[in-house]
C-alpha cells in the first residue's frame, strides 16, 4: 500500500494542493467541466474518513494583478460542498489573519477552501516566505495537483521544505498519474504505440524524441503530420506546416529508422477548401493535396492503417487529436482512434490518454471509461513524457 493510503490522518490538518483550475461560464461563473474537482475527491474523502480536516489550496485562471472577482475560487464553493456533502468554509485570502484563524479552528471532518493562490505573485515566483506562511496552516502537506506538477511554484514545490519528509504525501490522484506514466515510460509491455497528434511539430519534438527510445511504433496525425509530408517531398496544399521544422521532421524519421521504431503517417486525409465546418470537403493522399486545399483530418484508409497498429499493441499512449475534432466534419479520424484504443484496451492493452485536447476528445466521444487511464495534467504529462523531472513530484520524494 502507498504511503498516503497507509497513513492515518486522524486529528491532523491536511493542507492539500489541488488543481481546481476549472473552466467557468463567462457570465454566470457556473463550472462548465468539473472533472478536476471530482478527481481530487478520493484524496479529500480519505482524510475526512480518517477523522482529519482538510485545507484546500489551488489556483484558478491567470489573474494579472492581485484580486480579480472572475478568478475567485468562491465560484466553486457551492458545487464543491455538494460533491463532498460537507459545507465547505472559505477564506477570502489564502494567507493572513482570517486564513490562519479559520484553519486553526477547523475541526475533524471539516473542509476549508483558500482563495486563489495566484492572487499573490509570490505563488508563481516560488517565493519562500509565502510558501512558509502557507505551510503554517496545516500539519501535513499533500500534493494532489498533477496539473501543476511541472511548475516550481510556492504551493506545488517550494512549500515542501517546511515539512519533514514523513509529513509530505502524494494524494491519490497524483499517485495514480505517476503510476500510470511510470508504467508506460518504464514498464511498458511491447508492442508500445505512441499516438501523437495536434497542431504543431514544435510542441511535440521533445516527446517524440524521448519516445523514440521507448516505443516500438509512433503514429503521427493531426496538423503536424503535414510538416512530415512536406519534408519528404509531398504536396500539402495550404495544410498547416512549420517550414522551419522540415529538417527536424527528417531527423526524427532518420533516428526512428536507425532505432527500428516504426513511424506511421496518415496515408490519406480529409481535405477542405477552408478552415471551416461549412467548407467543401474531399479526400486526397496526405502527400498529394491540391493547391488551395488543406488536410483537416485523417481519412478512412489512414484510420484503418492506424487502427491496425493500435489493435496489435499492448501499451498505448495518446496525446493530441488526429484532426480538427472541434468541427463535426473533421472529428471522424479522432473518433476512429478512440474506438480502436477502446477495443485494444478491452483486449488487455494498457492505454493512457494524456494532454488537454485528446482528453477533451475522449470525454466528448464518451470513451473515458473505455481506456485504462485519462490523465488530468496536460502540460505536466507532456513534460513527464519528455523525460523531465517534475518539481511537484521531486518535492514530495526528495
Known catalytic residue at 200: yes
CB of 297 to ligand AMP, least distance (A): 7
Q: Which of 23, 42 has the CB closer to ligand AMP? A: 23
Of the candidate spans 56-64, 92-100, 117-125, 319-327, the one that interacts with ligand AMP by CB under 6 A turns out to be: 319-327
C-alpha grid cell, residue 327: 468541427
Pairwise CA distance, residues 173 & 73, whole Å? 21
Does 379 qualify as catalytic in the annotation?
A: yes
Contact call for residue 126 and ligand AMP (CB under 6 A): no
Q: Is the dihedral of CA 355, 357, 358, 361 positive or negative?
A: positive
Segment 230 to 289, residues that bind ligand AMP, using CB under 6 A? 240
Residue 71 Cβ, how far from ligand AMP at the closest point, in Å?
Answer: 23
Is 356 a known active-site residue? yes
CA distance linking residue 296 with residue 240, whole number of Å? 9
Calpha distance 282→356 (Å, rounded)? 28
Q: Provide DSSP, 311-347.
A: HT-SEEEEES-SS-TTSGGG-HHHHHHHHHHHHHHHT
Provide the minimum distance between the beta carbon of 346 and ligand AMP in the complex, in angstroms, as a whole number.
26
Is 324 near ligand AMP (CB under 6 A)? yes
Of residues 200, 255, 311, 329, which one binds ligand AMP by CB under 6 A? 200
Closest CA to 388 of 351, 16, 377: 377
Interhelix angle 246-258/201-211, rounded to 10 degrees, is: 10
| Piece in contact with ligand AMP (CB under 6 A), picked from 50-58, 60-68, 192-200, 256-264 | 192-200
Shortest Cβ distance from residue 295 to ligand AMP (Å)? 5
Cell of 162: 517546511
Of 183, 200, 311, 329, the active-site residue reads 200
Does 326 bind ligand AMP (CB under 6 A)? Our answer is: yes
State the nearest-atom distance from the C-beta of 208 to ligand AMP, in Å.
12
* Site for ligand AMP contains 354 (CB under 6 A): no
**Rg of the chain over all Cα atoms, to the nearest angstrom:** 23
Cβ-contact 150, 385 below 8 angstroms: no
Report how far residue 394's alpha carbon sits from residue 150's, in angstroms, rounded to the nearest whole number.
Answer: 10
Which of 317, 357, 359, 383 is in the footprint of ligand AMP by CB under 6 A?
357
Instruction: Give rounded-to-5 percent helix, strand, coil for the chain.
Output: 45, 15, 40
- What whole-number distance in Å separates Cα of residue 71 and Cα of residue 100? 22
Which region, judged by CB under 6 A, interacts with ligand AMP, from 122-130, 168-176, 284-292, 320-328?
320-328
Contacting residues toward ligand AMP, per CB under 6 A: 198-200, 203, 222-223, 240, 295-296, 320-321, 323-324, 326, 355, 357
Known catalytic residues are: 36, 200, 356, 379
Amino acid at each position: 500500500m502507498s504511503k498516503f493510503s497507509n497513513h492515518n490522518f486522524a486529528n491532523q490538518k491536511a493542507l492539500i494542493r489541488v488543481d481546481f483550475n476549472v473552466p467557468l461560464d463567462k457570465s454566470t461563473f457556473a463550472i462548465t467541466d468539473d472533472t478536476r474537482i471530482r478527481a481530487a475527491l478520493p484524496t479529500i474523502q480519505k482524510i475526512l474518513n480518517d477523522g482529519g480536516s482538510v485545507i484546500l489550496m489551488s489556483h484558478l485562471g491567470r489573474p494579472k494583478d492581485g484580486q480579480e472577482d472572475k478568478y475567485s475560487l468562491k465560484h466553486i464553493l457551492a458545487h464543491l460542498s455538494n460533491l463532498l456533502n460537507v459545507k465547505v468554509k472559505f477564506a477570502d485570502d489564502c494567507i493572513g489573519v482570517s486564513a490562519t484563524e479559520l484553519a486553526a479552528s477547523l475541526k475533524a471532518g471539516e473542509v476549508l477552501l483558500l482563495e486563489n493562490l495566484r492572487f499573490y505573485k509570490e505563488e508563481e515566483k516560488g517565493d519562500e516566505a509565502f510558501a512558509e506562511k502557507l505551510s503554517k496552516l496545516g500539519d501535513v502537506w499533500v500534493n494532489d495537483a498533477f496539473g501543476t506538477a511541472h511548475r516550481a511554484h510556492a504551493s506545488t514545490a517550494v512549500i515542501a521544505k517546511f515539512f519533514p519528509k514523513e509529513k509530505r504525501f502524494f494524494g491519490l490522484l497524483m499517485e495514480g498519474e505517476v503510476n500510470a506514466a511510470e508504467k508506460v515510460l518504464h514498464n511498458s509491455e511491447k508492442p508500445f504505440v505512441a499516438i501523437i497528434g495536434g497542431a504543431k511539430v514544435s510542441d511535440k519534438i521533445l516527446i517524440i524524441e524521448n519516445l523514440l527510445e521507448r516505443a516500438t511504433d509512433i503514429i503521427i496525425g493531426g496538423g503536424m503530420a503535414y510538416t512530415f509530408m512536406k519534408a519528404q517531398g509531398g504536396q500539402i496544399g495550404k495544410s498547416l506546416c512549420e517550414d522551419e521544422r522540415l529538417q527536424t521532421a527528417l531527423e526524427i524519421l532518420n533516428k526512428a529508422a536507425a532505432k527500428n521504431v516504426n513511424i506511421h503517417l496518415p496515408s490519406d486525409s480529409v481535405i477542405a477548401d477552408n478552415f471551416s465546418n461549412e467548407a467543401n470537403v474531399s479526400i486526397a493522399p496526405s502527400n498529394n493535396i491540391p493547391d488551395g486545399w488543406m488536410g483537416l483530418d485523417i481519412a478512412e484508409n489512414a484510420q484503418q492503417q492506424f487502427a491496425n497498429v493500435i489493435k496489435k499493441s499492448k501499451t498505448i499512449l495518446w496525446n493530441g487529436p488526429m484532426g480538427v475534432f472541434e468541427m463535426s466534419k473533421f472529428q471522424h479520424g479522432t473518433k476512429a482512434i478512440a474506438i480502436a484504443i477502446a477495443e485494444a484496451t478491452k483486449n488487455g492493452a494498457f492505454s493512457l490518454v494524456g494532454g488537454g485536447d485528446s482528453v477533451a476528445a475522449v470525454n466528448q466521444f464518451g470513451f473515458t471509461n473505455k481506456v485504462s487511464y485519462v490523465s488530468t495534467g496536460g502540460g505536466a504529462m507532456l513534460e513527464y513524457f519528455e523525460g523531465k523531472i517534475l518539481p511537484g513530484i521531486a518535492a514530495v520524494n526528495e
